[in-house]
Amino acid sequence: MNQITNCDRPIIGWREWISLPQLGVPGVKAKIDTGARSSCLHTHEYETFEHDGERWVRFHFHPLAGTTRVELPCEARVVRFQEVKDSGGHTENRPFIRTMARVGSIEWEIDLNLSNRELMKFRMLLGREALKPFLVQPTESYLLGKNLREEYGRISEA
């Protein structure tokens, strides 16, 4: 039997509040999904465009499940398009972006694909490729960060 001992990697719960500072997203409740290879961020619409000879994507993001009251406009450089199979077995060619993610005091770079998750409970999935800095504790929630929902009240007041 192989056991991990004396590991100094932080432990993450099965759901966490994740910030995406380069996209201007103070927080989104993310499902930590070891069954998914890639990470996914919700968008209800996106468009690609050229910027300085590179392909970029402009999208709108509803960070809070169950409401469209808060909408954040985002732009990022597309690092690739790739076919992704969803949990229902449907394949979709999705844009991938690279951005910084933060949970608690830990910040690291991740790739996110963009897809419509409007009907899903979580607006973001954090897949295996983005989970390398962590150990996952599937019986715990929100181990590394506080509820960031209050940040959206400050945004709407500004």
pLDDT tens by residue, 6-50: 578 899 999 999 999 999 999 899 999 999 999 999 888 899 999
Determine the Cα angle at 79 with ends 77 and 84, to 5°. Answer: 120
Q: How many CB atoms lie within 10 A of CB 104?
A: 16
Q: Three-state SS for 93?
A: strand
The CATH class that applies to domain 17-157 reads mainly beta
Residue 5, pLDDT > 60, answer no
**SS3 breakdown of the chain: % helix, strand, coil, rounded to 5?**
10, 50, 40
Domain boundary assignment for the chain = 17-157
Residue 156, pLDDT > 50, answer no
pLDDT-based confidence at 73, cuts 50/70/90? Answer: very high
pLDDT at 86: 75
Which of 32-41, 53-62, 80-89, 107-116 is predicted with the least confidence, judged by mean pLDDT?
A: 80-89
Q: Three-state SS for 76?
A: strand
pLDDT at 144: 87
Q: Rounded distance, CA 12 to CA 6, Å?
A: 16
